[in-house]
Structure 1
Amino acid sequence: MGLGLHGGGEASVRFFLKHGAFVTITDLKTEAELEPTIKSLKNDSSLNLDKADFVLGRHDIRDFEEADLVIKNPAVKYEGNIYLKKAKHIESDISLFLRFTKSPIIAITGSKGKSSTASAIHFGLQQAGFHSFLGGNITISPLHFLEKTNENTPVVLELSSWQLSDLRGRGILKPKIAIITKIVPDHLNWYGTMENYIEDKKLINKNQDSSDFTICSADSWGDIFASGTEAQVIRYSSKPFQGHTAKGAWLDIHGKGYVTRSAALSIQMGTEDLKINKKISSNSKISLQTKTATPILDNLLVPGIHMKENMLIASLALVLMGVSPLKTAKIMAKFPGVPHRLEYFHKKTLQNLPTGGTEDLKITKESFKTSFLFYNDSAATVPDATIAALSSFTDPIHLISGGTDKNLDFTELAKHLPKAKSLYLLAGSGTELLIKELDKSSVPYFGPFPSLDALLARLKEQITGEMTFGAQEIILFSPGTASFGMFKNEFDRGNTFKKLILELF
């Protein structure tokens, strides 16, 4: 139920067709809307599509009554769903994977930083010599690699609140390491309250025991997750721990990461030549101790204090998996980042020489050049993410923001937007709310524009006419809103932005 465009539905179809099942593929989206996914299935000669029946643009209640099993897309609600009420049994691609895999699971949830943290952990594990896999909400269904997993292949799963909700009451999620990244208000158009949102998030470490680990923030949100598990709790913070002896890791004022002295937390500490235990199974016990604050994070390629915090979390996970702190720091220094999350993808240097040339001026032609660096942060779907992005640069920022609302508050974002040298807004219900806040403080902006094409054309005209020569400036696309309406999803939004920029500049 819900073929979708993100890969989970397609992976489920492939999995069941490969194993000889008769599959009804049903989605309220039309064939035209689902064209990329359908084309991918129909062009695969290894699939027996004689056993597949497409019911698109509608649902037929009989399909649900007669099916032995319904695979539900996480974006489909149970509440008030007449079709799911008729189903004999319901699973998701994540629940199926968890029922069959023997791999140790590193599960990540949160409001922001999930994908960056999950990707960094997977990158780090592979660099350290593990044969790991990455899947879940990061648009890779774990069913794609289920049959390649075993007790020696760690699996990093990014899990949204919706994916976790589908696991409620099943008792099948017991991660070796559960990670909760930054929590901020999100999806309140779906949940109504933060309490409801957090209840689903808390499922990530509910089934853990004392042989497992939970990594959570050293704040009130972290306290909620720490109190709901029997796992060993490890805390992280963007500043040194104060007033208590929290186990975990922190960043100093220079952005370097350390494991605290009190990290007698049963984590593996060793030297550069520590031999990694590549046979850490879901039943293994990890135990070694450290008595001093140990560096685990130093220089990074990715910008922003919030990205440093994500990399700190990833570093903790690597150390828990037996990678030495020194080696962890070296690995994290090579992590290139994730598409659509403060993704640097283009540089354009523009020159505007005086009409009479520079021969008689005591300056070089280089002085009349301005470099523009382009960053795609389309995965910033909440205001807090855009606030963090604005704080990631010291050069002047031309910010592109706005889009669809999901019942979020834009008051705080409006207070930070004067940091931008210029502000360009895409039209949308969220933008309308943001503009009300901007107008209260007389913050100038361009737009709202009905399309990204129109916005970028105006931006190019503006920045080329007002260049600060000899400078370097940032073009940052960080919407702080949802993407639906103008785009298929945030990834389509980011890809469209990159494509248009490369055409214009």
Structure 2
Amino acid sequence: MIKHLTKDINLSDKTVVLMGLGLNGGGVGTAKFLAPKVKKLIITDLKSEKELESSIEQLKDFSNIEYRLKEHRIEDFINTDIVFKGAGIKFSNKFIAAAIENNRFVDTDIGYFFELFDSPIVGITGSKGKSTTTTLVYELLSKKIDNIILGGNITINPLNSLNENKDSKLAVLELSSWQLADLAVHKKSPHVAILTTIFPDHLNYYGTMDQYYEDKKYIFKFQDKDDWTIINLNNDYLFDSFIKNEIKANKIAISNIDEFLLKSSINEKTKYEDLLKRIKAFLKSNISLFLMKYENDVFIVKSKSFKNLDILLKDYEIEINSFGKIIEDIKSVIINKNEVEKKDEIKIDIDEDRYQFYKLPPLVNVRIPGEHNKTNILLATACALLYEVSIKDIYSCLETFSGPEFRLQIVRELNGIKFINDTTATVPDAVATSINAMTSIVSVKGRGRIFLIAGGVDKNLPIDNMALAIKENVFKLFLLEGSGSDILKSKLQQIGYSSIEDGFKNLPQLVEMIFKNAKENDIILLSPGFASFNLFVNEFERGRIFNQAVSQLK
């Protein structure tokens, strides 16, 4: 049995081992929080002092820190009182297992934060889109609530914020599958859980999709009837959880019809039954709120029993017939698109005794590109409505929100050439989505070309969608060195795509070379699709090097 920390445990007489300092800020944040509170803090990391120099420098003022670098010592884990481990370090790790066997407390920054923070927590997870959604939720809720704590997998340690935000009444956290697995030890889920999308990721760690999604489910597994879950109805895994009644909290769903209908290489052939059956099932269930985007208009179906939003939405109410016509139009488009027989048509009955209907302004003046980002906007908007943020404040925020760093970040435009940094696209399907965003939103086709920088270390993930998107939309592909690059190149050659140069190790030189061959209206996109650790410390260093290289171009 794993012993975890609780709020009432005194740390002042304790020796604590922190396993993993790292360079992303998470380990440093935990160390800064713990060092003033504990008797002794032992930081152990397999990296050298030189490699960790920037992190160690931030901790130089603490005299009670000892370092064990380039190794872990089993005796440290046995003789300590408490072990804090980094996300992604399994409880079966021999050092962590030794601590558990010797009845030591084992915890993480996220788990301990959930114990210490008494106010509600909004948690966001997903295979892609969680950082953008997390940042946007924070910006939207800040329109209504002061002093919100932002943190989690977004590389901000929330423990550090506790000292600075003692009066905070809300936290917004991005939660990875690893962090959720650690949180399960505490049997806690956030008050509001948002799931963006689920597709294959980290299979080199998990082995199967089922194991990966089981960890993701912890975001709602310990919720109750007073909590809320917001899901993307278009996603197969999330809809399956809804149908199986795995979600016990109050349910809110969104569906971006425009993303579903988008003709692109990244989507399998759409089946009209999939989408219409989901909408029908959700409208027949005991829902509170449903947000749907079609032709950029945003529609809301609200339960009449959910009265909190009556005043906020009253200026946007429409008749049931108006909403019914939209549903019929969607059905017609999908049926024609898929050549479905009229006799097979699915009927969606809308109960006007249970629901009210609203139409919000269209999503046209938004800065973040791609239909997938408009899906993220719907999820964040649903959360904002839950906290009764006004429609005016929601839309004013959307018009200025440019997204977090390294997520389809527009770094620069030089000589009419756009440089886009999507270094956090570390899975192949995410690259397919990003390519699609470039072709549909930036209108590359017919005006310009996409030069794609991709590749890295393989994570045992499917690459078919990425390969097809490259074949159909990318003018030239440049592959950074790595095992994933070799696999991708082989796949592309099999399907008849040969505009490839590979074996690159120096990213700044590669950026300069591509720039010299690009012309007005072209896009140079860094969207790797693979891990980075063979050439870079992590994906964030890869992104920073790209941005620096772009800034130095003349």
SS of 2:378's partner is: helix
Which amino acid is 2:547 matched to?
Answer: K
Which amino acid is 2:456 matched to?
Answer: G
SS of 1:252's partner is: strand
Query: Does 2:548 align with 1:475?
Result: no
SS of 1:433's partner is: helix
Indicate which of 343, 350, 366 corresponds to 1:300.
Answer: 366
SS of 1:488's partner is: coil
Query: Does 2:413 align with 1:385?
Result: no
Structure 1 residue 153: deviation in Å? 2.0
Would the alpha carbon gap of residues 401 and 255 (structure 1) be closer, same or farther in structure 2, given more than 3 Å must change? farther
- Once residues 450 and 176 of structure 1 are traced to their aligned partners in structure 2, the CA distance between those partners, rounded to angstroms, is 45
SS of 1:139's partner is: coil
- Once residues 232 and 267 of structure 1 are traced to their aligned partners in structure 2, the CA distance between those partners, rounded to angstroms, is 14
Query: Does 2:468 align with 1:415?
Result: yes
Query: Does 2:173 align with 1:128?
Result: no
Report % sequence identity. 35
SS of 1:71's partner is: strand
Would the alpha carbon gap of residues 461 and 55 (structure 1) be closer, same or farther in structure 2, given more than 3 Å must change? same
Structure 1 residue 272: deviation in Å? 8.2
- Once residues 216 and 129 of structure 2 are traced to their aligned partners in structure 1, the CA distance between those partners, rounded to angstroms, is 14
Q: Residue 461 of structure 1 aligns with which residue?
A: 516
Indicate which of 21, 40, 43 corresponds to 2:58.
Answer: 40
The aligned runs of 1:328-367 (5 Å cut-off) are: 328-349=394-415
Would the alpha carbon gap of residues 263 and 478 (structure 1) be closer, same or farther in structure 2, given more than 3 Å must change? farther
Moved more, 472-481 or 13-22: 13-22
- Once residues 308 and 355 of structure 2 are traced to their aligned partners in structure 1, the CA distance between those partners, rounded to angstroms, is 8
1:173-224 alpha-carbon deviations (Å, 9 max, x no partner):
2322101111110000000000110111111111111111101121431134
Which amino acid is 2:94 matched to?
Answer: N
1:16-52 alpha-carbon deviations (Å, 9 max, x no partner):
221243111111111111111101111xx4x3x2x11
Indicate which of 300, 304, 320 corresponds to 1:259.
Answer: 300
Structure 1 contact 373–475 (Cα < 8 Å) conserved = yes
Indicate which of 48, 53, 72 corresponds to 2:66.
Answer: 53
SS of 1:121's partner is: helix
Which amino acid is 1:293 matched to?
Answer: Y
- Once residues 263 and 431 of structure 1 are traced to their aligned partners in structure 2, the CA distance between those partners, rounded to angstroms, is 53
Query: Does 2:554 align with 1:489?
Result: no
- Once residues 223 and 502 of structure 2 are traced to their aligned partners in structure 1, the CA distance between those partners, rounded to angstroms, is 50
- Once residues 84 and 405 of structure 1 are traced to their aligned partners in structure 2, the CA distance between those partners, rounded to angstroms, is 28
Q: Residue 387 of structure 2 aligns with which residue?
A: 321
Structure 1 residue 481: deviation in Å? 1.2
Query: Does 2:2 align with 1:4?
Result: no
- Once residues 19 and 169 of structure 1 are traced to their aligned partners in structure 2, the CA distance between those partners, rounded to angstroms, is 23
Which amino acid is 1:486 matched to?
Answer: L
Which amino acid is 2:208 matched to?
Answer: T
Moved more, 70-79 or 145-154: 145-154
- Once residues 438 and 332 of structure 1 are traced to their aligned partners in structure 2, the CA distance between those partners, rounded to angstroms, is 38
Which amino acid is 2:422 matched to?
Answer: D
Indicate which of 13, 21, 25 corresponds to 2:43.
Answer: 25
Which amino acid is 1:476 matched to?
Answer: L
Which amino acid is 1:446 matched to?
Answer: E
Structure 1 contact 383–413 (Cα < 8 Å) conserved = yes
Query: Does 2:457 align with 1:404?
Result: yes
Gaps of at least 5 residues in structure 2 are 1-18, 259-274, 316-353
Query: Does 2:104 align with 1:63?
Result: no
SS of 1:26's partner is: strand
Which amino acid is 2:514 matched to?
Answer: L
1:313-346 alpha-carbon deviations (Å, 9 max, x no partner):
0111110011133432232222121100000121
Structure 1 contact 297–312 (Cα < 8 Å) conserved = no
Between Structure 1 and Structure 2, the one with more helix by share is 2
Structure 2 contact 227–250 (Cα < 8 Å) conserved = yes
SS of 2:383's partner is: helix
Would the alpha carbon gap of residues 330 and 269 (structure 1) be closer, same or farther in structure 2, given more than 3 Å must change? farther
Q: How many residues align?
A: 458
Structure 1 residue 130: deviation in Å? 3.1
Would the alpha carbon gap of residues 221 and 150 (structure 1) be closer, same or farther in structure 2, given more than 3 Å must change? farther
Q: Residue 143 of structure 1 aligns with which residue?
A: 159
SS of 2:223's partner is: coil
Indicate which of 182, 189, 193 corresponds to 2:204.
Answer: 189
Query: Does 2:255 align with 1:242?
Result: no
- Once residues 190 and 174 of structure 1 are traced to their aligned partners in structure 2, the CA distance between those partners, rounded to angstroms, is 23
The TM-score with structure 2 as length reference comes to 0.78
Would the alpha carbon gap of residues 140 and 290 (structure 1) be closer, same or farther in structure 2, given more than 3 Å must change? farther
Gaps of at least 5 residues in structure 1 are 275-288, 350-370
The aligned runs of 1:70-89 (5 Å cut-off) are: 70-87=83-100, 88-89=104-105
Would the alpha carbon gap of residues 228 and 273 (structure 1) be closer, same or farther in structure 2, given more than 3 Å must change? closer
SS of 2:27's partner is: helix
Structure 1 contact 11–144 (Cα < 8 Å) conserved = yes
Structure 1 residue 290: deviation in Å? 6.8
SS of 1:108's partner is: strand
The aligned runs of 1:195-206 (5 Å cut-off) are: 195-206=210-221
Structure 1 residue 459: deviation in Å? 1.1
- Once residues 135 and 101 of structure 1 are traced to their aligned partners in structure 2, the CA distance between those partners, rounded to angstroms, is 13
Which amino acid is 2:435 matched to?
Answer: L
Structure 1 contact 270–325 (Cα < 8 Å) conserved = no
Q: Residue 424 of structure 1 aligns with which residue?
A: 478
Would the alpha carbon gap of residues 266 and 473 (structure 1) be closer, same or farther in structure 2, given more than 3 Å must change? farther
Would the alpha carbon gap of residues 230 and 149 (structure 1) be closer, same or farther in structure 2, given more than 3 Å must change? farther
Would the alpha carbon gap of residues 309 and 297 (structure 1) be closer, same or farther in structure 2, given more than 3 Å must change? farther
- Once residues 248 and 359 of structure 2 are traced to their aligned partners in structure 1, the CA distance between those partners, rounded to angstroms, is 26
Which amino acid is 2:221 matched to?
Answer: K
- Once residues 17 and 268 of structure 1 are traced to their aligned partners in structure 2, the CA distance between those partners, rounded to angstroms, is 45
SS of 1:346's partner is: strand
Query: Does 2:122 align with 1:106?
Result: yes
1:53-89 alpha-carbon deviations (Å, 9 max, x no partner):
1111111111111111000111212224244323411
- Once residues 266 and 94 of structure 1 are traced to their aligned partners in structure 2, the CA distance between those partners, rounded to angstroms, is 34
1:250-309 alpha-carbon deviations (Å, 9 max, x no partner):
4434333332255865663433899xxxxxxxxxxxxxx971134276221111111111
Structure 2 contact 297–359 (Cα < 8 Å) conserved = no
The aligned runs of 1:222-233 (5 Å cut-off) are: 222-226=238-242, 227-233=245-251
Which amino acid is 1:428 matched to?
Answer: G
Would the alpha carbon gap of residues 10 and 263 (structure 1) be closer, same or farther in structure 2, given more than 3 Å must change? farther
Which amino acid is 2:458 matched to?
Answer: D
SS of 2:184's partner is: coil
Moved more, 385-394 or 13-22: 13-22
